[in-house]
Amino acid sequence: MTMDTEAAQRFLETGGPALVAIAVLSVLTLAIILWKLWRLLLAGAWSSRQATRLVDAAIAGTEAGKPRARRNIRARFVAGALAARSLPDILAREEVTRLAGRELTALRHGLRPLELIVTIAPLIGLLGTVLGMIEAFQALETSGGQADPAILAGGIWEALLTTAAGMAVAIPAAVALSWFEGIAERVQADMEDMATKLFIHAPERPAKAA
């Protein structure tokens, strides 16, 4: 365990401050991904059965009273949409749009930091590489062009290390971000489909507010 800790410390020292910053971003990325997965599981982002039953019951006219708010994001949206059907047509559609926007905003919460990590991790890595290359060429200039090629090559690979580390953090973050966005788009499509069904089979409503 001590050897692993010492090796990790030497690795971070080799890359300098840029590599330390990237290491922090890697931990933050993992934390955001795990937190987001937990939030999606709590919201029932992969389950539409409950909402589908609500929609089918509403179409069949068998819903019992006012639907209660539910933890499942689709079911909660459908419950709100059913309550909005008692409003005049224009107001009902505006309310459904508001409900969908609120739920989707909550579903996408936490994706902005992940998007930022995807952008800045490679840039920090590139910055570390540029600074490392500057140091390597400064050493070459100081030696009057007589530097050992092996030493120069070692300085160059150490400089390139931060670029590789930045990409290693940004790539999985980008994959996770794309996946989470895909889930949000799937939920949005389901909401649109359910709202359309509810309004197609909605009872007669006044055209405008009294």
Any domain includes 97? yes
Give the lowest-confidence range in 12-21, 117-126, 168-177, 189-198. Answer: 12-21
Any domain includes 137? yes
- Which residues constitute the domain of residue 168? 15-200
Any domain includes 7? no
Any domain includes 174? yes
Write down the pLDDT at residue 105: 92
Any domain includes 53? yes
Any domain includes 176? yes
Q: How far apart are CA 23 and CA 18, in angstroms?
A: 9
Any domain includes 41? yes
Percent of the chain with pLDDT over 90: 34
How many domains is the chain built from?
A: 1
> What pTM, to 2 d.p., does this model score?
0.77
Token output for 24: 């922090």
Round the CA-based radius of gyration of the chain to a whole number and report it: 27
* Nearest-5° Cα angle at 38, 35 to 39: 90
Any domain includes 207? no
Token output for 27: 């931990």
